[in-house]
């Protein structure tokens, strides 16, 4: 009887142990120079059962360069993600390790992967970042003006009026602005920038590639600078001095308010005074309260 019970418990214990879920690796790949793939990314791509790629042809070139033959290379992009997310999750739950890669750079930064990461998280599947290249961080790393805090907004809208509106709204914030632009719209965007601001702009073209170019000029002077409308672009706009001043004024006013009022009351007053959201002012009040 004792032996039978032990066998029974052993079976349950073993079957539980045997059922190990896989891991989802979110792997950054080069944005141009193949030497930018990290050693860890290479190890992961060599070890997983499935590579889920935005563009299997481009990823095949990368894998070919590494001399890697992955057991399964699946296409995972904008148009099949609804169907494929479930399929990939099932494979993770069945124990397969999967690496998700985009065409270039870091997945999820304007690239597919978000749904799969969310699904894995909800299902308790471990998700591991394999960091590396991204056009955003590459551009920030060579920006000659300060961008300690920055706001990344992906691509601006394609339509002219919407683009200008969105640019103006983004420039009203207190951080440097980072966005992508397509070569056929770069000239228009430079005109839009000139119309909206005089702040300095970094135009980073073809980062890590043969024709890498960095151009820095005040927005209103950029139009006169020759920028080849070919290749890939990231733009960074300097944080506005006027915004910085406004933020200094806001901090000062909030400090005074906090000497007489609770953070919540001070936030309410400051929101009216500076035409800001109450939640943002409440955050500021708490931050200043903590730093006192």
Shortest separation between residue 176's beta carbon and ligand SAM, angstroms: 16
Burial class for 7, CB neighbours closer than 10 Å (0-12, 13-18, 19+): exposed
Q: Specify the stretch interacting with ligand SAM by CB under 6 A; choose among 129-137, 140-148, 218-226, 279-287.
A: 129-137
Nearest residue to 47 via CA among 128, 114, 132, 134: 128
Q: Is 23 in the site for ligand SAM (CB under 6 A)?
A: no
Q: How far is the CB of 34 from ligand SAM (least distance, A)?
A: 12
Single out the segment in contact with ligand SAM by CB under 6 A; choices: 89-97, 108-116, 165-173, 263-271.
108-116
DSSP string computed for 1-63: -HHHHHHHHHHHHHHHHH-----EEEE-B-SS-GGGS-HHHHHHHHH-SEEEESSHHHHHHHH
Residue of 97, 99, 233, 238 interacting with ligand SAM (CB under 6 A)? 233
**What are φ and ψ of residue 131, in 5° steps?**
-70, 160
DSSP state for residue 70 in the 8-state scheme: -
Determine, following the binding rule CB under 6 A, whether residue 29 of this chain makes contact with ligand SAM: no
Interaction of residue 30 with ligand SAM, rule CB under 6 A: no
- Residue 106 touches ligand SAM, criterion: CB under 6 A: yes
Binding residue (CB under 6 A) for ligand SAM from 102, 143, 237, 266: 102
- Long-range CB pairs of 241-246 (<8 Å, 24+ gap) are 243/172, 243/173, 243/174, 244/174, 246/174, 246/274
Of the candidate residues 96, 97, 111, 192, the single one contacting ligand SAM (CB under 6 A): 111
Chain residues binding ligand SAM by CB under 6 A are: 31-32, 102, 104-106, 109-111, 134-136, 180-182, 204, 206-209, 232-234
């Amino acid at each position: 009887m004792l032996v039978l019970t032990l066998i029974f418990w052993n079976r349950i214990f073993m079957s539980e142990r045997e059922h190990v879920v896989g891991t989802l690796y979110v792997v950054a790949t080069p944005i141009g120079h193949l030497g930018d793939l990290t050693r860890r990314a290479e190890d992961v791509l060599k070890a997983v059962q499935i590579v889920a790629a935005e563009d299997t042809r481009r990823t095949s070139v990368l894998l070919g360069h590494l001399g890697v033959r992955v057991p399964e290379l699946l296409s995972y992009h904008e148009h099949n993600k609804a169907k494929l997310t479930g399929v990939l999750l099932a494979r993770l739950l069945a124990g397969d390790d999967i690496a998700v890669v985009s065409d270039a750079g870091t997945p999820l930064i304007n690239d597919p992967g978000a749904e799969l990461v969310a699904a894995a998280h909800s299902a308790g599947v471990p998700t591991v970042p394999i960091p590396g290249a991204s056009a955003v961080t590459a551009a920030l790393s060579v920006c000659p003006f300060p961008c300690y805090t920055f706001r990344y907004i992906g691509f601006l809208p394609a339509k002219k009026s919407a683009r200008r509106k969105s640019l103006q709204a983004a420039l009203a914030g207190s951080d440097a602005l980072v966005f992508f632009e397509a070569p056929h719209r770069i000239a228009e965007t430079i005109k839009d920038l000139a119309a909206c601001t005089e702040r300095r702009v970094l135009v980073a073209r073809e980062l890590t590639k043969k024709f890498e170019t960095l151009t820095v000029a005040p927005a209103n002077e950029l139009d006169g600078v020759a920028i080849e409308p070919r290749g890939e672009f990231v733009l960074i706009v300097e944080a506005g001095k006027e915004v910085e001043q406004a933020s200094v004024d806001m901090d000062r006013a909030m400090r005074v308010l906090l000497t007489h009022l609770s953070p919540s009351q001070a936030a309410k007053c400051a929101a009216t005074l500076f035409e800001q959201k109450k939640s943002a002012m409440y955050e500021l009040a708490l931050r200043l309260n903590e730093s006192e």
